[in-house]
Amino acid sequence: MNKIKMLSQSIKRLSNQGNSWHRSGKVLKFIICIIAGAVATIGVSMYLSTGVAPSANTYTTSWIGNTFGGGDKWIQIQVSGMYIASDGTVFTNSPWDEAGREVGIYKNGNVISKADDLHGWGRLGGVAITADKKYIYVAMQQSQSGNPGEDYPPSGTNWHCVRRYDLSGKPAPFSGGRGWDKSMLIVSKKSQVTGLAILGNQLYVSDQADNRVRIYNTDTMQELQNFPVPNPGQITVDRQGNLWIIQNKKDKTPAKILHYSKQGQQLPGIIKDVVEPTAIAVNNQGRLLVADNGPRQQVLIYQLTKTPVLVGTFGTKGGIFAGIPGEVKDDKFVGLSGLGTDAAGNIYIANDGFNRSGVDLRKFSPNGTLQWRLLGLQFIDNADTDPITDGVDVYTKHEHFVMDYKKPVGKQWIYKGYTLNPFKYPQDPRLHTAPDAPWFRRIKGKPFLFLTNMYADQLQIYRFQKCTDGEIAIPSGMFVISTPEGKPLFSGNWPPHQPSSGEWIWRDSNGNVTFEGDEYDSSKDLPYLGGWWVDSSGDVWKTLRTQDGVGIRHYPVQGLDAKGNPIYTYKSMEKQKTPSMFTDLRRIEYYPATDTMYLSGFTKEHPEINDDTGVVGSEIIRFDHWSRGNRTPRWRTVIPYDTTGKREVATAAMSVSGDYVFVVTVKNPVVYVYKAATGAQVQKLKPGPEASGESGWVDIPYGIRAVRRSNGEYLLFTEDDQKGKVIMYQLKS
């Protein structure tokens, strides 16, 4: 009786809070049912704000796609330049890492440190790095920022610099140095530094904008001389003290590798048979190693005679696309971006994928045996499972993982496949756009990957054909929305033949994975922004942020064509009414097996403060018997949303699975769990100690995906845009 009395008092307090409850004649009935302990399944509008604190033994936090789980250990999301010290210390550089590891320092398969002060205040990393016994030399960029009186470039100007650090990653200022701490050497104000190398106490710097290599004293950082090199890139030094410099391709001029003396005199020995040289090094036998990021995806090995002779290769010819295409193997490379060797002859390879798919850093013994591998594969990404494998096969926008849930947290995933092939399918939308969250669906038993992007202006469709393409996801179709200006969404030469206005659907009807003029279905329908959903039957749904009351589009799948592509048309599209309580419809999830619809958005009672296009809204509302025309909610529940205009609290994404509805907030991400039957909040989840208790923002529209396994366990995948991974909660039923 005391508990009932306390509950009655709590309900009375809540009912006096105005907007906490929807006032109707059924509220009294609801209160009586609650006090009696009945399950709240009546069809009454209600708002619930109370929650149950998570119990530590109900879920664990794991992750996918990064060797380390966070804290001070994570693998950066990109490697654009790499240098290996004689003792095997690995120094990497990249223009950007969300968590600030633009420059990473690794050794023996472990994270050692990072270079400080390269993140924010107008600073970015770069594509080149080298080191000697005292300092690290980092190509970087400084733009206008900072406080009055500090040394920054004027507005509209960028400094492309070499910044000097000590070996622990602390800036090492020098007399005449620039920047706020006097550690920067300005090389150019036109374009980035593209190559760095050390010979004795001289630092060689590729100044691509001026077609010169500049030489500086490493102690004073004063320029000693310079000499002309066309479009210079990465540099290495051979045993004779001469330079080998990549001449990057430009316009119709192919790439070459040029030979110079240390004084800048060009020497015989041009190498012309590398399609796309991206990195270069000399090993302990005096041989020149060149990373070829063209179709070979190999390291080419040259004997340095008067005319360099190709004497060997390292890695499987064709890389990740050889054998079973996309299948991950120790000696199959994918997007080579860095190369180096240590004094013992060990070989280090940095792979960056294509269109910056993520980091795969490997060390091999001199005989080619893999010693260790570090992965940082995910950025602005989420995951979904193949529905027929009970959570074992997991897909992100580029990767296929196979899971073993018996292993410790962070170790359950095995990197199985890379699904992008730029050489066979150069018009793959993933090479030209920036998709993120996947849906993995089966249509007539066939597997398909659907991808949308941060702005929800497109939906990409991929099919699989393992007998010919292995792990590769083959571009199959695409939805693209209208722009408010009536112009094409994409500028430039891709995709060819796109309609000049309106929205369109492309389907690869002849199977050649080329956008052709007769493969577009176009429309002058209104849709601009909104939310996407692909249901279990393969039907596509879209919500429109429109006030005309007809804001739902349903594209029933019309089967598969002769090439295995799902068929969607504007002729078969259905327009459905937006339920009247919504003023701004944002997300949609429809479940055909139960004829249940979940919609989210802003409502008359809980309007938006700012036009924040990326959030779920303020309420989720469930409708039963949707296809029969029912528009009376089974329940309504208020979710975290911005009421102050500061966006400190807002819901980024929602996902329904089994008995629960899950949402995740944007900043300091928290997963809120609601009962699917009632809308009542039952739990909150935060990253646990297994993942250092942290997560980056969830700032993509589909940044949470929930899957219920056959044993009753729930898998929750959430975006972690900070430290190169997808967070995975394992929630007991």
What's the whole-number mean pLDDT along residues 257-284?
A: 97
Tokens describing residue 49? 């704000």
pLDDT at position 483 is 81
In CATH, 59-63+379-731 is 2.130.10.10: yes
pLDDT at residue 292 above 60?
A: yes
Instruction: For residue 7, count other CB atoms closer than 10 A to its CB.
Output: 14
State how far the alpha carbon of 347 is from the alpha carbons of 83, 257, 353, in Å: 11, 20, 19
Q: How confident is the model at residue 384 (pLDDT cuts 50, 70, 90)?
A: very high
Q: ∠ CA(413), CA(614), CA(454), 5° rounding?
A: 50
pLDDT at position 55 is 54
Instruction: For residue 532, count other CB atoms closer than 10 A to its CB.
Output: 25
pLDDT at residue 182 above 60?
A: yes
Type of residue at 542: K
Q: How confident is the model at residue 41 (pLDDT cuts 50, 70, 90)?
A: very low
pLDDT at residue 38 above 50?
A: no
Enumerate residues 6+ apart whose C-beta is below 8 A from 115. 102, 103, 105, 125, 136, 138, 165, 169
What does the pLDDT look like over 539-548, one tens digit per residue? 999 998 876 7
What does the pLDDT look like over 236-269, one tens digit per residue? 999 999 999 999 999 889 999 999 999 999 999 9
pLDDT at position 57 is 65
pLDDT at position 573 is 96
What does the pLDDT look like over 393-423, one tens digit per residue? 999 999 999 999 999 999 999 999 999 999 9
pLDDT at residue 701 above 70?
A: yes
Give the phi and the psi of residue 566 in degrees, each rounded to 5.
Answer: -70, 145
What does the pLDDT look like over 294-352, one tens digit per residue? 999 999 999 998 899 999 999 999 999 999 999 999 999 999 999 999 999 999 999 99
Q: What is the rounded distance in angstroms from the CA atom of residue 348 to the CA atom of residue 353?
A: 16
Tokens 């380390």 identify what position? 68
pLDDT at position 148 is 84
**Lowest mean pLDDT: which of 8-22, 203-217, 533-547, 554-568?**
8-22
Q: What is the rounded distance in angstroms from the CA atom of residue 515 to the CA atom of residue 326?
A: 23
pLDDT at position 32 is 32
pLDDT at residue 51 above 60?
A: no
Q: Which residues is 246 bridged to in the sheet?
A: 257
pLDDT at position 20 is 32
pLDDT at position 170 is 98
Arithmetic mean of pLDDT over the chain: 91
pLDDT at position 16 is 35
pLDDT at position 3 is 36
Q: What is the DSSP letter of 487?
A: S
Q: What is the rounded distance in angstroms from the CA atom of residue 293 to the CA atom of residue 278?
A: 6
pLDDT at residue 14 above 60?
A: no
**Lowest mean pLDDT: which of 34-38, 237-241, 359-363?**
34-38
Domain ranges of the chain: 2-35, 59-63+379-731, 67-376
Do the beta carbons of residue 308 and residue 290 sit within 8 Å? no
Q: What percent of the chain has pLDDT over 70?
A: 92
Type of residue at 434: A
Tokens describing residue 665? 């907030």
pTM of the entire predicted model: 0.91
What's the whole-number mean pLDDT along residues 18-39?
A: 34
**Lowest mean pLDDT: which of 148-152, 163-167, 220-224?**
148-152
Q: What is the rounded distance in angstroms from the CA atom of residue 257 to the CA atom of residue 249?
A: 10
Do the beta carbons of residue 694 and residue 676 sit within 8 Å? no
Q: What is the rounded distance in angstroms from the CA atom of residue 534 to the CA atom of residue 517?
A: 26
Q: How confident is the model at residue 676 (pLDDT cuts 50, 70, 90)?
A: very high
DSSP string for 409-446: TT-SEEEEEE---TTT-TT-GGGTS-EEEEEEEEETTE
pLDDT at residue 487 above 90?
A: no
Q: Which residues is 340 bridged to in the sheet?
A: 348
**Is it true that the peptide bond before 495 is cis, omega within 30 degrees of 0?**
yes
Q: How confident is the model at residue 484 (pLDDT cuts 50, 70, 90)?
A: confident
DSSP string for 518-535: GGEEEE-----SEEEEE-
**Lowest mean pLDDT: which of 51-65, 338-352, 669-683?**
51-65
- Residue 492 Rama label (left phi>0; alpha psi -120 to 50; beta): left
Q: ∠ CA(247), CA(253), CA(259), 5° rounding?
A: 30
Q: How confident is the model at residue 30 (pLDDT cuts 50, 70, 90)?
A: very low
Enumerate residues 6+ apart whose C-beta is below 8 A from 551. 530, 543, 544, 545, 577, 578, 582, 585
pLDDT at position 528 is 63
Tokens 């249940």 identify what position? 596
Q: What is the rounded distance in angstroms from the CA atom of residue 451 to the CA atom of residue 467?
A: 23
SS3 682: strand
Same fold, 59-63+379-731 and 67-376: no
SS3 2: helix
pLDDT at position 547 is 65
pLDDT at residue 445 above 70?
A: yes
What does the pLDDT look like over 116-135, one tens digit per residue? 999 999 999 999 999 999 99
CATH topology of domain 67-376: Neuraminidase (2.120.10)
Q: Strand 503-507 vs strand 473-480: parallel, antiparallel, or unpaired?
A: antiparallel
Q: How many residues are there in the chain?
A: 733
Task: Give which of 501, 490, 352 is closest to 433, Cα–Cα.
Answer: 490
Instruction: For residue 494, count other CB atoms closer than 10 A to its CB.
Output: 14
Do the beta carbons of residue 116 and residue 104 sit within 8 Å? no
pLDDT at residue 35 above 60?
A: no
Q: What is the rounded distance in angstroms from the CA atom of residue 399 to the CA atom of residue 420?
A: 8
What's the whole-number mean pLDDT along residues 205-218?
A: 98
Instruction: For residue 595, count other CB atoms closer than 10 A to its CB.
Output: 14
Q: What percent of the chain has pLDDT over 90?
A: 85
Do the beta carbons of residue 164 and residue 135 sit within 8 Å? yes
pLDDT at residue 48 above 50?
A: no
Task: Give which of 259, 263, 317, 265 is closest to 288, Cα–Cα.
Answer: 259
What does the pLDDT look like over 214-237, one tens digit per residue? 999 999 999 999 999 999 999 999
